[in-house]
Amino acid sequence: MLYSKGMEFKKIAICYNPKIQNSVEVKNELRSILAQHCIDASVIDIDTLTNGYDFVYVIGGDGTILKAARFFAKHNAAIFGINLGRLGFLSQSSKEYLKKSVEKILNGRFHIEERIMLQSFDAIALNDFVIKGNTQGRTAKLSLKIGGNPLCDYLADGIIISTPTGSTAYGLSAGGPVLSPNLDAFVIVPICPHTLTARPLVVPDKEIITVSMGDSENGFVVSVDGQNFFEYKSDIVIKKSEFTAKLALLDDSDFYSILRDKLHWGVSPANI
Active-site residue among 54, 62, 128, 225?
A: 62
Report the C-alpha gap between 264 and 6 in whole angstroms.
Answer: 35
Q: In 92-171, which ranges are E strands?
A: 93-94, 110-120, 123-125, 128-133, 140-146, 149-156, 158-162
CA 117 to chain CA centroid, Å, is 8
Tell me the torsion sign for CA atoms 69, 38, 250, 169: negative
Tell me the torsion sign for CA atoms 15, 101, 79, 95: negative
Q: Determine the 3-state secondary structure of 191 from DSSP.
A: strand
Instruction: Output the CA torsion 20→113→89→266 (10° steps).
Output: -170
Active-site residue 62, yes or no?
A: yes
DSSP 32: H
Q: Could you list the active site residues? A: 62
